[in-house]
A and B are shown apart, each in its own frame.
Chain A
């Protein structure tokens, strides 16, 4: 808990991360408080997705320096599923196919393990109906296998459905908007806006257009493993117009 009544969700200090001994994140500092939406933009290979994966606990990444605190607890103390159960959620850039496992079963079991309490069938179905209505999803998806034969848009929508059902304290969205048409984009934004007031949000994106529907608190520019510039929503518009070169070229502050 912050001292001024702001509640701190995530605090990253001087984070360095390597994969196969190649440094990817090189000294990143970022604090996310409840109710804040942080957007990270940057070129491919800047380390944006790495950041999301590291936070969720992907075993391929090694933290070589720095600290991460989640809800005031050192994050390293938590395994992947413990992070999920402590309210962390990652919307995957490439959601994985789980053959033979029906979406409905999967959602129920997932919600059950995260909440760590038995859920009543009827209450669960009601909750699920509401979330699916919000996202304009067809019930038939529940009997399909997780991400099996899903289009890009369907996969992303299922990620957001999971987010609504798991109701996270920290939502990490890794290029959830990529490859979506305007309608799907609006629906995804609706999901994010529903979760955002009570959570911390970290949105990784290449495009300004999501920000027509989701109002960020901060926009960060990530270049070569570091945040080089932070601004408000207007920064995203500026990046859309000018690209990233002017930031590289600027003398270091």
Chain B
């Protein structure tokens, strides 16, 4: 790695990369032919090919967003991205059958171990497609579907045709258009009526190749009165050139259902992370986004919930950590489209070494939605004076009975806190690490224990060598 690249990414723990492993690799750049080729390669039904091509047209016509970090966005060179790379001939259900070097990667990331210990199912995506997939037998017997999206489309085309693009249409934004055109991989989950999946299911996304574009597509449907917790983690190696991750995630929580979607995004600091995540919650349903953004060069992501049924509830808890050269532009969108719907948004961000974190939020209450309640709390912590934090909240309230609270705070680590902790034997870095972990605690406690421990370790590592 060049010094410059190292400088940009610091001591990123997952920055190792394997020799590239590909059975099919498309040339860089995007055209209608590339889109058709991806679809043909996957042997997709015609309707999917048509959606892809339509989405491609929209992507071409749609201008870049003129908000957020335009400067950084415009650095993306769409011609220098590899849009499809197949690294294994098939998705394996047996860990032993996964190609050796890919297996090593996931071993280093601790995936098989986690599966044995505490997960209900695992899918591991490497570049464009899943290389490993498994689900606990008892869940399968209960009728729970958990597949990678490509297999999902093959085996359950009707369900996918019914829901694909209904929550995030390809016309939503430029990057949802791009994803719809070239999507590959991701998860497809269906939880039948009344089934509660007690153990979380996990997806792990890994970009290995240079200048790679990863465009996974996830669709989760929780039928009436069911529940599921989906966890995803992401890493990539450290290169001096940029990669692009642009996912679309659609959640559908039917009457009385509950979906919790947790993400710890720890991309290396050369990845553009431009993701559209949105869920629909029907009557008394709950959708919870637990969203951690630690890595990437630029993240623009605003997990959204459409509260469409009476009494539905949305929860968006997010943390962002912006270090040197990073911009975390994250937030939440909640649309109260039905009466007596409720939402909580908690956003916590930390900026350090000139990093920038922004909260961008949208809260909407439509005129017919009476009796809605929403609470938004945004806390920013700055670790030095060269870093930056902004808040861009938008509220559109059309019903006078809405009960809304909005609190925002920006704080710095106080000298008194550092002195107190140092008088208890902590070095300045350790003290900073404790304060940062404490600041993120309302988020961390929502994670499965294993993730919480991992996140705290990660943050402590980020604090090392950070005090001048």
- A: which residues have CB within 8 A of B? 56-60, 79-81, 83-85, 89-90, 92, 95-101, 106, 109-110, 113-114, 145, 162, 166
- B: which residues have CB within 8 A of A? 414-417, 419-428, 430, 434-435, 437-442
Q: Does the CB pair B415–A98 fall under 8 Å?
A: no
CA distance A98 to B430 in the complex (A): 13
Q: Does the CB pair A80–B422 fall under 8 Å?
A: yes
Known A-B contacts A98-B434, A101-B438; A80 and B417 likewise in contact (beta carbons under 8 Å): no
Q: Does the CB pair B420–A110 fall under 8 Å?
A: no
A84 to chain B, nearest CB (A): 4
Q: Does the CB pair A114–B424 fall under 8 Å?
A: yes
Q: Does the CB pair A98–B421 fall under 8 Å?
A: yes
B136 to chain A, nearest CB (A): 31
Known A-B contacts A100-B439, A100-B440; A81 and B420 likewise in contact (beta carbons under 8 Å): no
Q: Does the CB pair A99–B438 fall under 8 Å?
A: yes
Q: Does the CB pair A166–B424 fall under 8 Å?
A: yes
Known A-B contacts A59-B415, A98-B420; A145 and B427 likewise in contact (beta carbons under 8 Å): no
Q: Does the CB pair A110–B438 fall under 8 Å?
A: no
CA distance A99 to B417 in the complex (A): 10
Most B C-beta atoms less than 10 A away, residue of A80, A99, A106, A166:
A80
Q: Give every chain A residue within 8 A of B419 (Cβ-Cβ).
A: 56, 58-59, 80, 96
Q: Give every chain A residue within 8 A of B435 (Cβ-Cβ).
A: 98, 101
CA distance A98 to B440 in the complex (A): 12
CA distance A47 to B198 in the complex (A): 60
Q: Give every chain A residue within 8 A of B423 (Cβ-Cβ).
A: 56-57, 80-81, 83-84, 89-90, 92
Q: Does the CB pair B424–A110 fall under 8 Å?
A: yes
Residue of A nearest to B416 (CB): A96
Q: Does the CB pair A100–B417 fall under 8 Å?
A: no
B420 to chain A, nearest CB (A): 4
Known A-B contacts A98-B417, A98-B434, A101-B434; A84 and B425 likewise in contact (beta carbons under 8 Å): yes
CA distance A110 to B414 in the complex (A): 19
Q: Give every chain B residue within 8 A of A90 (Cβ-Cβ).
A: 423
CA distance A113 to B429 in the complex (A): 13
CA distance A90 to B416 in the complex (A): 13
CA distance A90 to B439 in the complex (A): 25
Residue of B nearest to A81 (CB): B422
Q: Does the CB pair B425–A113 fall under 8 Å?
A: yes
Q: Does the CB pair B416–A114 fall under 8 Å?
A: no
A238 to chain B, nearest CB (A): 33
- 27 examples of A-B residue contacts, CB within 8 angstroms: A57-B422, A59-B415, A80-B422, A81-B423, A81-B425, A81-B426, A81-B427, A83-B423, A84-B423, A84-B424, A98-B417, A98-B420, A98-B421, A98-B438, A100-B438, A100-B439, A100-B441, A106-B434, A109-B426, A109-B430, A109-B434, A110-B425, A113-B424, A113-B425, A113-B430, A145-B441, A166-B425
CA distance A119 to B414 in the complex (A): 30
Residue of B nearest to A116 (CB): B425
Residue of A nearest to B422 (CB): A80
CA distance A96 to B417 in the complex (A): 6
Other than the given A57-B423, A83-B423, A166-B424, 4 more pairs (CB < 8 A) read A81-B425, A98-B420, A101-B438, A113-B427
Contact with B439, one of A80, A84, A99 (Cβ below 8 angstroms): A99
Q: Does the CB pair A84–B422 fall under 8 Å?
A: yes
Residue of A nearest to B427 (CB): A81
List of 5 A-B pairs having minimum Cβ-Cβ separation, nearest first: A100-B438, A100-B441, A113-B425, A114-B425, A101-B438
